[in-house]
Amino acid sequence: MNILLAGGAGYIGSHTAVSLLDAGHDVIIADNFANSSPVAVERVREVSGKPVTCYRADVCDKAAMERIFQENNIDCIVHFAALKGVGESVEIPVAYYRNNIDTTLTLLECMAKFGVRNMVFSSSATVYGDENPIPYAETMRRGSSSHPYGWTKIFMEQIFEDAAKADPNLSVVLLRYFNPIGAHPSGRMGEDPRGVPNNLMPYISQVAVGRREKLTVFGGDYPTPDGTCRRDYLHVMDLAEGHLEAVEYAAAHKGAEAFNLGTGTPYSVLEIIRAFETATGVSIPYAIGDRRAGDLPEFWADASKAERVLCWTAKRDLTEMCRDTWNWQSHNPKGYEE
């Protein structure tokens, strides 16, 4: 298939590109590099050994996107293009709503105009909100969010469901990611956040490589086994491979349908620190600090639907997640910046 990856130069998009190319698909990337580097696309070509067409384009720019649809015979879209900073979304909510909703509407309009019927969407566990019991299952209702980023995902899922109801030819797979970490095993591709990392694993790996002094653990008094928050971390290559199954599923089905992509097993912040230290031999200085606003004590996936319907399960364990993160970070201490 010819698969357009909107936002495909980013962390998850670039790893997914490699999985799709390895499986024999052709990949077209459209990215404005708002939160990524063109070097990531070069690394996708290097690691896969395959050509990749790449457009520097804002997915909100309808004329630019129409040109891309015109020039390529697209069978399916994977839509990663979004701003994803929870804290930043509280500071600049309008920019988040504009970008995330607009990319989605532009893609849907292009799909209608060019007769493209299949879409895989990067959704998030955040759509379950804080009212649902854990583990989260797809049968539960979407919740409400404590931040604009989460609301954009909730709204976008709703938009896709409404669009699929109105157009019986449309097929949308809503992939609710849990917490992707890790990197491509080659050490040539990985997560390269701009500025101070918001997420746990990139912060740990930057401490390990000497870019940051110590990790602050956000809260040590949660009602969890060791007092720190628990999340469902999965290897980014497992997540990438989930997109392969989703693309096939989208091609064979109609309507909008959600799938959790997680392992079903939670780990605490302290367990992640210890696993990283054991896997790499590098010690991570840390201090327990205040809770971060909006963090839930714990959540993880009921991952059984993806296994049953998509025949997908996460195969890589926490040791591999830590080892591959370190392989990437230690060989690329400044990320994609040479």
Residues labelled as active-site residues = 149
DSSP designation for 113: H
Would you count residue 128 as binding ligand UDP (CB under 6 A)? Answer: no
Kindly write down the DSSP assignment for every residue of 36-94, as one continuous string: S-HHHHHHHHHHHTS--EEEE--TT-HHHHHHHHHHS--SEEEE------HHHHHHSHH
Among residues 27, 54, 78, 99, the one that binds ligand NAD under rule CB under 6 A: 99
Nearest of 75, 84, 65, 228 to residue 156 by alpha carbon: 84
122 is in the binding site of which of ligand NAD, ligand UDP, none (Cβ under 5 to 8 A by kind)? ligand NAD
Would you count residue 85 as binding ligand NAD (CB under 6 A)? Answer: no
Nearest of 289, 318, 291, 246 to residue 1 by alpha carbon: 246
Is the CB of residue 176 less than 8 Å from the CB of residue 140?
no
> Two tokens at 253?
């089905």
Would you count residue 325 as binding ligand NAD (CB under 6 A)? Answer: no
- Residue 41 CB, nearest approach to ligand UDP (Å): 25
Among residues 3, 5, 82, 275, the one that binds ligand NAD under rule CB under 6 A: 82
85 is in the binding site of which of ligand NAD, ligand UDP, none (Cβ under 5 to 8 A by kind)? none
> Two tokens at 69?
């649809």
171 is in the binding site of which of ligand UDP, ligand NAD, none (Cβ under 5 to 8 A by kind)? none
Provide the CB-side half-sphere exposure for 117 (13 A, CA).
14
| Angle (nearest 5°) at CA 78 between 72 and 81 | 100
Would you count residue 10 as binding ligand NAD (CB under 6 A)? Answer: yes
CB neighbours of 235 closer than 8 A, spacing ≥ 6?
180, 181, 182, 314, 315, 316, 320, 321, 324
Dist CA 230 CA 200 (whole Å)? 12
Among residues 28, 116, 174, 229, the one that binds ligand UDP under rule CB under 6 A: 229
Would you count residue 146 as binding ligand UDP (CB under 6 A)? Answer: no
The helix/strand/coil state of 176 is strand
Is the CB of residue 299 less than 8 Å from the CB of residue 265?
no
Would you count residue 232 as binding ligand NAD (CB under 6 A)? Answer: no
- Residue 180 CB, nearest approach to ligand UDP (Å): 9
Among residues 3, 44, 52, 60, the one that binds ligand NAD under rule CB under 6 A: 60
Nearer to ligand UDP, 38 or 193 (CB): 193
Part in contact with ligand NAD (CB under 6 A); list of ranges 3-11, 215-223, 290-298, 305-313: 3-11
Would you count residue 198 as binding ligand UDP (CB under 6 A)? Answer: yes
Query: Using CB under 6 A as the criterion, what x/- string covers residues 248-277 for binding ligand UDP?
Result: ---------------------x--------
For the chain, the distance separating the N- and C-terminal CA atoms, rounded to the nearest angstrom, is: 33
- Residue 276 CB, nearest approach to ligand NAD (Å): 17
Dist CA 234 CA 316 (whole Å)? 8
Part in contact with ligand NAD (CB under 6 A); list of ranges 56-64, 107-115, 218-226, 309-317: 56-64
Query: What is the binding site for ligand NAD (CB under 6 A)?
Result: 7, 9-13, 31-36, 58-60, 80-84, 99, 103, 122, 124, 177, 179-180
Query: What is the binding site for ligand UDP (CB under 6 A)?
Result: 179, 198-200, 203, 215-218, 229, 231, 269, 292, 295
